[in-house]
Amino acid sequence: MRIWSLVEATEAEGPGLRFALWTQGCSLRCPGCCNPHTWNPSGGRTTTVAELLARVDAARARRPRLEGVSLLGGEPFEQDDALADLAARVRARGLTVMAYSGYRLEELRARGSRLLAHCDLLVDGRYVASLRTTQRRFVGSTNQRLHFLSAAYTPDDPRFHAPNTAELRLDADGVLRVVGFPFASILAAFGPGARGPRESGATSGSGPTAGAAKTRSPGC
Ligand code: SF4
């Protein structure tokens, strides 16, 4: 599988404290996408389900209140099989899985997605710049929908009704990272998102030494 980045714990990419994984590769190319650096299916780096599970386990050991894993993009459902295996094993650990996709739920079903069966929450639909919103939590444009695919969450949970948020994280390696919704003020300060941060906790990498607009898909 190919990924662009990951953050071991954030509260800006789904309910509760979550391990966030940005996949690499998206063929949908929504105009106005804030993560165009994740489009190239040959970009990012390769990894394995086993490596990612080890990172999730380590993150949970450090932060026992870790609630789940969020899959962002890029387009997670274009690496369906590998992420289905990852999601199934994440849920077997008692964690939840949330996915963000540019495909609509109906399209994912028509594609025969295996991953879908292992998701508790799905934000679906292309990002439409003219419909951009900051007022719907975890949603980037008003055409997108939040689906509750299991009993793990319910629509009346207040965590789904607050406006969008962003986090500025000063990590132990001295790198400022921005996670969450790409508010205009953040884009003005850090750029359009092309300067993605190194992975949080990574032992190697060539990321920037200053902050970067690190945003989710499709919440551009
Ligand atoms: S907004 Fe999401 S689905 Fe659309 S091009 Fe960007 S990464 Fe792909």
Q: Would you say the CB of residue 28 lies under 6 angstroms from ligand 1? A: yes
Pick the atom of ligand 1 nearest to 74's CA. 7
- Spatial contact of 25 and 43, defined as CB atoms under 8 Å apart: yes
Query: Residue 191: its pLDDT value, please?
Result: 59
Q: What is the pLDDT of residues 1-13, one digit of tens each?
A: 999 999 999 999 9
Q: 63 or 166: whose pLDDT is higher?
A: 63
CA of 162 to the centre of ligand 1 (A): 23
Q: What is the pLDDT of residues 114-135, one digit of tens each?
A: 999 999 999 999 999 999 998 8
Q: Does residue 169 register a pLDDT over 70?
A: yes
Q: Does residue 157 register a pLDDT over 80?
A: yes
Q: What is the pLDDT of residues 48-80, one digit of tens each?
A: 999 999 999 999 999 999 999 999 989 999 999
Name 99's bridge partners: 71, 122
CA of 64 to the centre of ligand 1 (A): 32
Which residue's C-alpha comes closest to atom 5 of ligand 1? 29
- Return d(Cα 98, Cα 87) in angstroms, integer: 9
Mean pLDDT of 175-192: 73
Write down the pTM of the prediction. 0.87
Cβ contacts of residue 130 below 8 Å, gap of 6+?
Answer: 141
Q: 2-165: what fold?
A: TIM Barrel (3.20.20)
Query: Residue 188: its pLDDT value, please?
Result: 72
Q: Does residue 194 register a pLDDT over 70?
A: no
Task: Return the ∠ at Cα 191 (arms to 187 and 197), rounded to 5°.
Answer: 105
CB-neighbour burial class of residue 76 (10 A; exposed 0-12, middle 13-18, buried 19+)? buried
CA of 25 to the centre of ligand 1 (A): 9
Query: Residue 114: its pLDDT value, please?
Result: 98
Q: What is the pLDDT of residues 15-33, one digit of tens each?
A: 999 999 999 999 999 999 9
Which residue's C-alpha comes closest to atom 3 of ligand 1? 102
Q: What is the pLDDT of residues 196-217, one digit of tens each?
A: 444 543 322 222 223 343 444 4
Tokens coding 212: 């970067």
Quickly count: other Cβ atoms within 10 Å of residue 61's Cβ: 9
Pick the atom of ligand 1 nearest to 38's CA. 7
Query: Residue 210: its pLDDT value, please?
Result: 31
Query: What whole-number percentage of the chain has pLDDT above 70?
Result: 85
Q: Would you say the CB of residue 96 lies under 6 angstroms from ligand 1? A: no
For the chain, the structural domain boundaries read 2-165
Place of tokens 């996408």: 33
